[in-house]
Amino acid sequence: MFRFETPIYLYGLVLVALLALIRFMMHRSQKKRLRKFGDPQLLKELMPDVSRVRPALKFWLLEAALAMLFVMLARPQFGKSINHEKRNGIEAIIAMDISNSMRAQDVVPSRLERTKMMVENLVDNFTNDKIGLIVFAGDAFVQLPITSDYVSAKMFLGSIDPSMMQNQGTNIAAAIEMAAYSFTQQENIGKAIIVITDGEDHEGQAIEAAKYAKERGMRVYVLGVGSTKGSPIPIPGTGDYMHDNSGNVVMSTLNENMCREVAQAGGGAYIHVENNSNAQRQLDEELNKLEHQETESTIYSDFDEQFQAVGILALLLLIIEVLVLESKNPFMKKISLFGSKSKAVTIFLLLMAMPSIAQTDRKYIRQGNKLYEQRDYEHAEVDYTKAIEKNDKNPQAHYNLGNALFAQRKDSAAVVQFEKAAQLETNPLRKSQSYHNMGVICQQNKLYGEAIEAYKQALRLNPNDDETRYNLVLCQQEKKKQDQQNQQNQQDQKQNQQKQDQQKKDQQKQDQQQKQDQQNKDQQKEQQKPQMSKENAEQLLNAAMQQEKQTQKRMREAQKQGQRRQVEKNW
């Protein structure tokens, strides 16, 4: 595969074409001027040393060298360099039962959550092995193809829920059959199918499927989750339990006999998951008995730089241009030869310097890739950042930096780098991978709307990406559930608000009623006061009038006595 890492420099070829056009126009003008001196044939005979071909050849050699210079700056890359990592381990496919019965809470916090913790512990203990993940209920499908990417395996655990399966039930046979076809074609390596279930097989034929897997060199291990006493199956969000057609509560029990028979038929072992550490230890002992072989994993792919070959070609063109003389006379070599050599030396030094300039950011990227393979993500981030400082237009540096940040759980910063990589990248497949990673980050943070848009953009660029298509469908289902939950929350808030408003109105009515009752009591008290008879009222009125008359009489007598004293004094 061939590509240009920085194709923007190819626009410099327009300058090459423009120079060719200017030279053509100058050549025509020169011909017109010569015709003014005389017949062209006669002038040719008068100038035997002048060559018409050599100047044109020298010009086109310079044009070709300039074109090669722009091509070199565009950094052509050819071929594919794939780094492989060899590991000595086994291959294991984990089949998780996610039927509704796994919601039972006879183990804390529930059978499904205990299963997720068990799988996470399994992944943490794997070092040089390849793992895959299958989920099943009434049907089975591959959640994660067999890989050495343990981070992705743990990432998918958070989104696993029984609502993913439209057909409920427990079809252990389908899970084993799908796992049997999910291994690599490598021979003489231990292959384990780890089934984690409560053993309620509703479809049958699980024993036959386990025998078939054993015949193909695989071992089937069954991890039983749950209690033999049984437990009801809760319905999420309702606080109620599942009932059968008769209205009785459904009790789900661990079928240990079934689990043992399947494990025995598959040549493996049955382990009851009561305590994660004990079950993990028993399973590790069983897996260590399998044959470990060297496996090869593709870690990183890269393109090899080819600008050196283009630079050498440009240098050869310049050397040829210097050696070609404009005159036919060999004694004319000294004319402008020194200048041509100095020009060639200058360009030669420039060409020698360009590889180191162009390779600076690639050097940091390679260093970062080595650290990333060693899972030293923090120092890999430093090298990728240095590469971006040298060349901010390198989409590979931005993409790798996003991966290093993503591995360190720096999700927001990783999204920024993936966006820049998608903007700068010209290859559709690599561009779609940037959008895919953005979708994964949004999906992990339950931003399903943003994840759906990112996955759609990735599929537009790479319609054959089945993993992106699956994630898109999963996010659409989660988005639908999220919208329903939001609508339910809004309805609950609305109902609560209405309830509060109604309570407020009821309180106001109650206050008004209490006020009205108080007014009625006051009126009753007024009415209960003793009433004065008419005769008593007239007597009181007459007495008050007599008292008033006496008071006025005393006041008039007092005024008369005062006047007499004043007169006697003056006199």
| pLDDT tens column, 23-69 | 888 877 877 776 676 666 666 666 666 667 778 888 888 899 999 99
Q: Pick from 75, 77, 74: which is nearest to 9 by CA?
A: 74
- Nearest CA to 396 out of 426, 376, 370, 374 is that of 426
Query: Is the model more confident about 271 or about 3?
Result: 271
| Statement: the pTM of the whole predicted model exceeds 0.75 | no
User: CB-based contacts of 518: which residues, under 8 Å, 6+ apart?
Assistant: none
Res 336: pLDDT: 45
Q: Where are the alpha helices (H) located in 243-376, listed in sequence order?
A: 256-265, 276-288, 307-323, 337-373
Q: With bands split at pLDDT 50, 70 and 90, how would you rate the model's confidence at 188? A: confident
Specify the DSSP class assigned to residue 532: P
Asked whether residue 300 carries a pLDDT value surpassing 50, the answer given is no
* Per-residue confidence (pLDDT) for residue 435, from 0 to 100: 92
Give the CA angle between residues 311, 315, 320 to the nearest 5°: 150
Alpha-carbon gap, residue 388 to 438, rounded angstroms: 20
DSSP string covering 304-335: EE-HHHHHHHHHHHHHHHHHS-SBS-GGGTTT
Sheet of 76-89, strand order: 2-4, 76-89, 293-305
Average pLDDT over residues 389-398: 86
Pairing of strands 293-305, 76-89: antiparallel
Distance CA 297, CA 152 (A): 15
Q: List 78's β-bridge partners, or say none.
A: 2, 304
Which residue reads 């590991």 in tokens? 87
Question: Most confidently modeled of 159-163, 372-376, 546-550?
Answer: 372-376
Which of 66-75, 118-127, 195-204 is least confident? 195-204
Ranges 142-156, 240-254, 370-384: which has the least confidence = 142-156
* 457-460, Cβ contacts within 8 angstroms, sequence gap of 24 or more: 457/432, 458/432, 458/433, 459/432, 460/432
Least confident residue range of 125-129, 190-194, 428-432, 446-450: 125-129
Task: Give percent of the chain with pLDDT exceeding 70.
Answer: 81
Task: Please report, rounded to a whole number, the percentage of residues in the chain having pLDDT higher than 90.
Answer: 4
Q: How confident is the model at residue 335 (pLDDT cuts 50, 70, 90)?
A: very low
Mean pLDDT of 434-461: 89
Confidence of residue 294 (pLDDT cuts 50, 70, 90): low
Spatial CA neighbour of 143 closest among 152, 153, 133, 151: 133
Give which of 25, 8, 55, 109 is closest to 336, Cα–Cα: 55
